[in-house]
Each structure stands twice: as structure tokens, then as C-alpha cells.
Amino acid sequence: MKLIHLSDLHLGKRVNGFSMIEDQQYILKRILEIIKEEDADGVLIAGDVYDKTVPSAEAVQLFDDFLVRLSEEKRSVLIISGNHDSPERLSFGAQLMTASGVYLSPVYDGAVKPITFEDAFGSVHVFLLPFLKPAHARAVFPDKEINSYTDAVSAAIQQMDIDPQERNILVTHQFVTGSQSCDSEELSAGGTDHIEAGVFRPFDYVALGHLHSPQNIPIPPQEGKSKRQTRARYCGTPLKYSFSEVKHQKSVTVIELKEKGNLLLRTVPLIPRRQMREIRGSYMEVTAREQYQFADQSDYVHITLTDEEDIFDAIGKLRSIYPNLMKLDYDNSRVRAQGLETAAAAETKPPARLFADFFQMQNGQELSPSQESLVEKLVKAIWEDEK
């Protein structure tokens, strides 16, 4: 059996104010071509289909067209919701779509029934586990002690009817401890959303979504148990959604399942309609013909100017050469000095003042006297506890 692993389409996303819908339409067309070239039996989509819980009409139409094309070619599609999706909206019409080979994970209720396929080597069971928070798990498992994301996912897996003698796949959307993240992802402060990889040992393959960088996740076998190793992977986004992803090689992950314990992974590169590039230099260097004459001027670019003086209407002038200039900043002695001054000033301010400054920046208004008093009490209590 051959499956294609996708995730984090983020349909409808805007990057630095630029709509990515045309780029997404282009890359989905290429993905459809790859699926056909590979003659894949099915497609796994591990969450974050959309970029917002209430997606735009354009994004919904684009995904609808994608599913229709897959269904027409008799490819099974298995989809879960991610943290950006609304599970209720994404699962609408799930029972009707099943007849067309499109399987949508329902709103999590504590029961995950596998979708089973047959091939020359027997049965393959695919379990769909949407993005799960501890609060969700506590609501359906009131008798279990669930204090972390690891507890939540572990409880959900324990409820699954997994036959260890057969091949089992999990499609889920979580942050596994030790994974590499980038700027375009939404992560919880302090790593509270991390999950220990060991909870996934019952499966042969774990199709992960959530992180945008393609990467394999090592899951060592449990000591004293079978030496069969679980394979787990983030396939990454099909497009670059921040300049922290400039060096990523986006791809489609192809899974080939043979007999139990024999699983092959490989990737097929994805070439976008527009690349994402970073350019650095003085204004004269950046606008020199040799800088851009052999490059695609329609690429999305981040330009860092090193001139000591600001260039008048730099964005307007640069966009005459680089129409998709997404981001412009300076790196010179003045900017570096300002950065050092800001850091030094922050070190001298008391914690309550720093919080007040942050509150004003985020909310556009100052703390009220009662709020200031509460912050002072909390800071004092925290500092005393640490002593």
C-alpha cells in the first residue's frame, strides 16, 4: 500500500500581508500530479487544513476542488483537524463524504475507530486523532488524571483498539518533544504543549502535523519489549510561510507499506510558483542589475539594507524591481545601538514595570490602578517563592 502524507496546508493564509491563495492553488495542482504519478492508494492530511477556524470562501473552494479531484481518481483521503481548524466545521458532512472515500475525523469524543484497508499483506488500520488539549481529554475521561498534553494523548491512545500483530498508522497533530520549530508556528509558552514521543510506540507509522519543517522523529523501542521501531515524521508545509523557512526543502512524503515491520519512506520535492529569498546589502548593491537579472523578480523577498542613512521611499523604489517585497529592514550601527539600548533599559526596569509596558503595547491602554496593584502582589509572591 502506498500513501501520501501531507499536513499544514494553511489554506487562506496571508504572509506579511500577501495572500498565498494563488501559490496554494499552484502547489495543490502539483501535489495532485505527484499523487497520480505515484499511483498512491490514499492521502493522509495531518491537520491545519485551513489557516483560520473560520476560513475564507476562497480557501474552502480550493480545498473542495482538491477533494473532488482525489475522489474522482478513487484515492482515499483521511483528514484530521489541527489547532488552526474548527473541528466542527471541518467535519461537516463527514458521513456523506465517507461514501466518496473521504474520511474526516469527527469532534473528539473519546472513541477513535480505525479506518481499515486491505492489501496483499493484510490489513492496515488508520487511526485519526485530531488536535487534542488536556481540557478536551479531561472532559471525556473524567476518571483519569490528565495534567499534560502527554497525558491527554496517552489516554486517547489507550482507548484505541490496536492489534499489535497488524499494521497500524496514527494521524495526529501535536508537538513532539525534541522537534525543530520555526517562526510561522503557534507554540505554547514554556513548552507546555510538548508530547513525549514514547506514547506513539503502538504504531508502525505516525503521520504528524503541526511543525512546518520536514523532519523524522526518533522513537526508540521500549526497553525489554520488541525491537520493532515506530517511524514518525512531520512532512512539513507544502509552501514556505515565513522567512525562517527559507532554507527548507519542501516536499511530499511517500509511505510504502509492505509486510509488518517493512515500511519505506521517501520524499518528492515541491517547487513553488514563487521562491522565498533573503537579500542583504547596501541600496546600491541591492538595486544593481547583476543582483537581480538572473533571479526571478516575482519571488517573495526580505531585504536588509546596510546603509547608515535611511533611503527615502525605499519600499516604493525597491518594489519597482522586487514587486513581491514582503519585508524591509536595516542593519547598521544606529539600529544595533538602539537594540543594545533597549536591552539595557529592559534589564534595569522592575518586573512589574516590564509587564505594564507589555500590556500597553498589546492592548493600547495602560493598566488600571487595581490591575497594577494585582501585578505588584503577584510579582512579589513569585519572587518570594523563588528565594
Residue 117 has a pLDDT of 95
Q: Does 387 score more than 50 pLDDT?
A: no
The b/e string for 280-296 (b: 16+ C-beta within 10 A; e otherwise) is eeebeebbeeeebeeee
> 256 vs 295, which has greater pLDDT?
256
Q: Tell me how far apart the terminal alpha carbons of the chain are, to the nearest angstrom.
A: 59
Residue 178 has a pLDDT of 81
Residue range 307-331: mean pLDDT, rounded: 93
| Mean of the per-residue pLDDT values of the chain | 89
Lowest model confidence (mean pLDDT) among 204-213, 252-261, 334-343? 334-343
The whole-angstrom separation of Cα 160 and Cα 206 is 14
**Residues with Cβ within 8 Å of residue 320, at least 6 apart in sequence:** none
Residue 364 has a pLDDT of 65
**Residues with Cβ within 8 Å of residue 277, at least 6 apart in sequence:** 246, 295, 299, 300, 301, 302
Indicate the helix (H) or strand (E) that contains 301: strand 300-305
| 214 residue type, one letter | P
Residue 371 has a pLDDT of 86
The whole-angstrom separation of Cα 230 and Cα 333 is 51
Give the SS3 label for residue 222. Answer: coil
Residue range 107-123: mean pLDDT, rounded: 94
Q: Does 345 score more than 80 pLDDT?
A: no
**Confidence grade of residue 140 (pLDDT, cut at 50, 70, 90):** very high
CATH topology (fold) of 2-269: Purple Acid Phosphatase; chain A, domain 2 (3.60.21)
Q: Does 33 score more than 50 pLDDT?
A: yes
Q: Alpha-carbon torsion 362, 363, 365, 366, what sign? A: negative
Give me 327's grid cell: 519585508
Q: Which of 126, 131, 279, 147 is nearest to 203 (CA)?
A: 126
81-98 per-position pLDDT tens digit: 999 999 999 998 888 899
> 349 vs 117, which has greater pLDDT?
117
**Confidence grade of residue 131 (pLDDT, cut at 50, 70, 90):** very high
- Residue 80 contacts residue 69 (beta carbons within 8 Å): no
Number of alpha carbons in the 13 Å side-chain half-sphere of residue 348? 6
Give the SS3 label for residue 310. Answer: coil
> 204 vs 191, which has greater pLDDT?
204
Residue range 111-135: mean pLDDT, rounded: 95
Q: Which residues pair with 304 in a beta bridge?
A: 280, 329
**Residues with Cβ within 8 Å of residue 124, at least 6 apart in sequence:** 1, 116, 117, 118, 166, 167, 168, 169, 257
Residue 4 φ then ψ, to 5°: -105, 130
Residue 331 φ then ψ, to 5°: -135, 100
- Residue 103 contacts residue 77 (beta carbons within 8 Å): yes
Q: Does 383 score more than 70 pLDDT?
A: no
350-376 per-position pLDDT tens digit: 788 778 877 776 666 788 888 888 888
How many beta carbons lie within 10 A of that of residue 168, not counting itself? 22
CA distances for 94 relative to 28, 32, 64, 88, angstroms: 22, 22, 13, 10
Q: Which residues pair with 279 in a beta bridge?
A: 303
**Confidence grade of residue 342 (pLDDT, cut at 50, 70, 90):** low
The whole-angstrom separation of Cα 239 and Cα 174 is 19
| 204 residue type, one letter | D
Q: Does 127 score more than 90 pLDDT?
A: yes
**Confidence grade of residue 317 (pLDDT, cut at 50, 70, 90):** very high
Residue range 163-171: mean pLDDT, rounded: 95
Residue 346 has a pLDDT of 59
